[in-house]
Amino acid sequence: MSTVADIAGALAEKTRPEKAASWDPVGVQLGDPQASVETVAVCHEVTEEVIAALREGTPGLLVTYHPLLFSPTNRLLAGRSVESRAFSLISMGVSLLVTHTDFDAAPGGAADALAHLLDLREIRAFGEDEEDGTGQIGRVGEFGASLDALDARLSDAFGHTGLRISGDRDRHLEMVAVVPGSGSHLIPAAAEVADALVTGDVSHHRTVEAADLGLAIADPGHVATERPGLEALVEIVRQVTDARVIDLTHLDPQTWS
């Protein structure tokens, strides 16, 4: 039977945690690395809904894309907070394994999944940040259609609600860049290699910056841009363990309606 450490090591061969950002707490975040694991659950983020689902059939390990604890804490108390959810996992005996920006950059990870969803061609990586140690969490590829066509493709994939577009809709986009999650800090890098950037959480001032650089923006939302990668993560977890895998990625951490 596999242990938490066995599964973490096997997943690391796929995701390369050394490529994660320096601020990103990837790897085993809670639990006993030597604990045996019969069942693994996979989620997008450790939400209250995920905790409730775990109580119905407690796994030995939960693999999450969004880390649970980003900041140091000196209290783990029952209630409703990220610390409380950590307390719940510990109380249930569920270890927690995080793969985040390393999975964005990994071959077959979140960035590749988003690029393939948009049918980009001749895909290559970009977006390495030497200052914080992040690998190439973006992808760029040939698109060959208008910004309006990109809008339609994103609407088909994620729905039109919440989708924001900045730029001339009739403009021909030869190259489109994608960054899952919150990737507006890569606008200058994207402008050097693409005509448009698909990412989430783009602020007004970042959008103005993009316009000044001649870069169109398509923002379907933070969660939406990560969702294709979560399907890939479930499959990778199935590849690296013989344990039963429970897919909880449908319990999206949506904060907007």
pLDDT digit string, tens, across residues 216-255: 999 999 999 999 999 999 999 999 999 999 999 999 898 8
Per-residue pLDDT tens digits for 109-163: 999 999 999 999 999 999 998 877 888 999 999 999 999 999 999 999 999 888 9
- Does residue 257 surpass a pLDDT of 80? no
List every span in the chain annotated with CATH 3.40.1390.30: 4-100+227-247, 104-225
Short-list 222, 188, 194, 225, CA closest to 206: 188
Per-residue pLDDT tens digits for 53-62: 999 989 999 9
Q: How confident is the model at residue 35 (pLDDT cuts 50, 70, 90)?
A: very high
In the chain, what is the straight-line distance between the N-terminal and C-terminal CA atoms, in Å? Answer: 42
Tell me what the pLDDT averaged over the chain comes to. Answer: 96
Q: Residue 11 in 3-state DSSP?
A: helix
Give the pLDDT score at 29: 97
Domain 104-225 in this protein, CATH class: alpha beta
Pick 4-100+227-247's CATH classification: 3.40.1390.30, 3.40.50.1580, 2.130.10.10, 1.20.1630.10: 3.40.1390.30
Interatomic CA distance for residues 222 and 230, integer angstroms? 13
Sequence-distant (≥ 6) Cβ neighbours of residue 164 within 8 angstroms:
202, 217, 218, 219, 220
Helices (H), the chain: 4-15, 48-56, 82-92, 101-105, 110-117, 147-158, 187-193, 204-212, 222-240
Query: How much of the chain exceeds pLDDT 90, in percent?
Result: 93
Give the pLDDT score at 254: 82
Give the pLDDT score at 14: 97
Per-residue pLDDT tens digits for 175-228: 999 999 999 999 999 999 999 999 999 999 999 999 999 999 999 999 999 999
Give the pLDDT score at 130: 80
Please give the model's pTM, rounded to 2 decimal places: 0.95
Q: Annotate 72-138 with three-state secondary structure.
A: CCCCCCCCCCHHHHHHHHHHHCCEEEECCHHHHHCCCCHHHHHHHHCCCEEEEEECCECCCCECCCE
